Structure 1
Amino acid sequence: MKNTLSVLVEDESGVLSRITSLFARRGFNIESLAVGPAEKKGISRITMVIYGDYRTIEQLIKQLYKLINVLTVQDITNIPSIERELMLIKVYSNMDNRSEILHITNIFRGKVVDFSMDYLTIEITGDPGKICAIEQLLQQFGIYEIARTGKIALKRSSRINTEYLKKQLFNPLTTFTTSD
């Protein structure tokens, strides 16, 4: 199972190296890793996506807490959260397919950030599902290059699980009844 960990660390040299070494020593691959300044000066937030079962993730969290400069570790996999990624994707483009590529880009609220006679470079931001969906649609035109950030995530203050709501609102089998 994919798990998303949010780790607050003191912004010191070598912290990221110690964390990634911990995972490497235990044979874990980090699928996604994003690091940036947090809400307080001198603190950074590391968001990482890793595979593992509940017991394994629990062990890794305990090991992370043993590292110097690690302040908090939170598994936000099953907590209502906001997740985003950024992708730059360069697609082969010509006069025949350009309007179709632009149409797909508009549907996904992306924007063209570079344009040439042979390529369009598109910037797209959204949840990981949206990023994968547009990538799959654009593959038919030929993808020349992709650069993706890792997933970043924050817990929802409202504690409302919008993924659950989407499934309920857009499920064709869901029926709504009114009461008098």
Structure 2
Amino acid sequence: MTTQRHTISVLVNNQPGVLQRVSGLFGRRGFNIESITVGASEEQGLSRMIIVTTGDDNMLEQVSKQLYKLVDVIKVIDLSSNPMVAREVALIKISAEPSLRPEVLGIVETFRASVVDIGPNSLIVQAVGDTDKIDAIVELLKPYGIRELSRTGVTAMIRGSVR
């Protein structure tokens, strides 16, 4: 079996400690979480976790079974087995003397990103897109000096029909 990236949606009761129990399950089994985002869902009292991990199909099946054993887990869906929309947000603070700003703005424009703050010697760029897009803009901005980088992690949904 081949190792691949999986994006999993986990619907949980919004209770203290649920995030810790879910992430602990991954850790105890030696599975790495590349990204995890948690927020309110469409149903009051329930939160949705979007977890990105790497492994084979057997690993995914084991994780899914183990998640369902947790009291507060309502539903587990492998989003990556369907056509999906996945996005993350990055805020990137870079050193940018006024003379270099036109170059930086060219990169920002190419990636359909935006400048959300301008300081005397810095800019904060906001980029939204899939992980590869965020990785690419970060690489292109590195030569200017990234002072700080904050990424949200992936959030995702299956395309099309309502589930």
Q: Which runs of 5+ in 1 are unaligned?
A: 160-180
Cα distance in 1 for partners of 2:70, 2:136 equals 37
1:151 maps to which residue?
A: 154
1:58 maps to which residue?
A: 61
Shift of 1:158: 5.1
Work out the number of aligned pairs and report it.
159
Shift of 1:95: 2.5
Cα distance in 1 for partners of 2:64, 2:30 equals 15
Instruction: Decide which structure has the larger Cα Rg and report it.
Output: 1
TM-score (normalised: structure 1): 0.85
Letter in 1 for 2:99: D
TM-score (normalised: structure 2): 0.93
After TM superposition, where is structure 1 displaced by more than 6 Å over at least 4 residues in a row? none
Cα distance in 1 for partners of 2:17, 2:146 equals 36
Q: CA RMSD in A?
A: 1.3
The correspondence for 1:9, drawn from 12, 15, 18, is: 12
Shift of 1:136: 1.1
Identity percentage over the alignment? 45
Q: Check 1:158–1:103 CA distance in 2 against 1; reply closer, same or farther (3 A cut).
A: farther
Shift of 1:56: 0.8
Higher percent of residues as strand = 2
2:102 maps to which residue?
A: 99
Q: Which runs of 5+ in 2 are unaligned?
A: none
2:33 maps to which residue?
A: 30
Shift of 1:78: 2.7
Letter in 1 for 2:44: K
Aligned pairs for 1:15-164 (under 5 A) are: 15-157=18-160
Letter in 1 for 2:113: G
Shift of 1:138: 0.7
Cα distance in 2 for partners of 1:135, 1:158 equals 34
